[in-house]
Homo-oligomer: A and B are copies of this chain.
């Protein structure tokens, strides 16, 4: 029993992914993403998303995000994102590095999301200063968000419409895209390109893989070269890319990715339900994916920790903690968590 709710990044890989690695490990294969598995990616993801997809396999979400943004933003361009976005707070300037000094600009919002109108107002306010200031050139949405909430296709569509009118490229950081799709019950297409998204960082590492992410360009095959050049210069063109591609193919095969994510979401929902019934605990944000932000008193958190439960005390907030559920969180683990919560008023 792990009782580790610190992060889905700490979960192991799924058995099917390990099997795929073993299956890929037979004989020689062309290097540098020219192998038989990597060459299947475009077709597999095009089928999954029901449109033309150019796939750039990489090892981390950070580089997927950074290549995506750098491929659509000049050094003097700015990217608008949520104030809680991973690209803004947790990547130590990787987008700025790959983008040669581009700037990220935070849009205020609630529950980890920003809306179309606030985006429009802020961008318009920052325009019109010519060469003297950054030129707004792109937006990034996080799906599911860092608050564990999920944008609806309609919300994304509204934001995309604003972005298109402002001539901004549209990127989605889908580190937890699987969890969002599970929640929405929609097709992956509906919450991505059909809602206006042009580039998607399709996450897999947090949800059952060892280290595999796919940067997807929808209906923009001409973007591939720029992305591949950035990947190479970033040192991300693995000689044995087959092992990344094998993970990605197994991950979407037979909707494994959704099976894994739904397990995680279900646990989060169970814990959210327990919180709602608790006399003093409350939810900081709606629980729509696999993360739960618990607003509670400090003694409560101490009690949970004393019982061996691992979670993340939110920096600078002694009344807030984050619990993340993964594909390998068991019903039993969640049951113990709920029970331990309930034992403390």
A residues bordering B, Cβ < 8 Å? 2, 4, 6-7, 9-13, 18, 21-22, 25-32, 58-64, 66, 74-76, 89-94, 96-103, 125, 128-129, 131-135, 205-206, 210-211, 226, 228-229, 231-240, 243-244, 315-316, 328
15 further A-B contacts with Cβ under 8 Å, apart from A63-B236, A96-B102, are A6-B30, A12-B26, A18-B21, A28-B328, A59-B59, A64-B235, A76-B229, A89-B133, A90-B133, A97-B101, A97-B233, A100-B100, A100-B101, A131-B232, A211-B238
Distance, CA A205 to CA B32, complexed state (A): 12
CA A232 – CA B59 in complex, angstroms? 13
Which of B92, B206, B244 has a CB less than 8 Å from the CB of A132?
A: B92
Residues of B within 8 A of A134 (CB): 92-93
Cβ contacts under 8 Å, A12 to chain B: 25-29
Report A45 CB to chain B, min CB distance, Å: 20
6 contacts between A and B (CB under 8 A): A13-B25, A59-B236, A62-B237, A91-B232, A94-B235, A211-B243
In the bound complex, residues from chain B placing their C-beta under 8 Å from that of A28 are 2, 4, 6, 10-12, 328
Taking the nearest CB of chain B, how far is it from the CB of A296, in angstroms? 21
When distances are taken between beta carbons in the complex, the residues of chain B under 8 Å from A60 are: 235-239
Chain B positions within 8 Å of A89 at CB level? 129, 132-133
- Looking at the complex, which one of B18, B75, B226, B315 makes contact with A233 (CB distance below 8 Å)? B75
User: Which residue on B lies nearest to A7, using beta carbons?
Assistant: B31
Q: Is the CB of B63 within 8 A of A234?
A: yes
Chain A at the B interface: SS class = loop
A58–B97 alpha-carbon span in the complex (Å): 18
- Chain B residues with CB under 8 Å of A4's CB are 28
Contact partners of A125 in chain B: CB under 8 A: 315-316
CA distance A66 to B232 in the complex (A): 12
Cα A22 to Cα B17 in complex, Å, equals 11
CB distance from A257 to the nearest CB of B (A): 16
What's the least CB distance linking A51 to chain B, in Å? 25
- A10-B31, A92-B133, A132-B92 given; A239·B97 CB < 8 A: no
Chain B residues with Cβ below 8 Å from A63 are 234-236
Question: Nearest chain B CB to A24's CB is how many angstroms away?
Answer: 8
A35 CB to nearest chain B CB (Å): 8
Instruction: Give the chain B neighbours of A30 by CB distance below 8 A.
Output: 6, 10
* CB-defined contacts of A133 to chain B, threshold 8 Å: 89-90, 92
| CB <8 Å contact, A229 and B59 | no
Judge whether B25 and A128 touch: CB under 8 Å.
Answer: no
Q: How far is the CA of A334 from the CA of B265 in the complex (A)?
A: 53
The answer on a CB contact under 8 Å between A93 and B66 is: no
- List the 10 closest A-B pairs by CB distance, nearest first: A63-B235, A96-B101, A9-B31, A9-B239, A62-B235, A131-B232, A10-B28, A4-B28, A210-B243, A97-B233
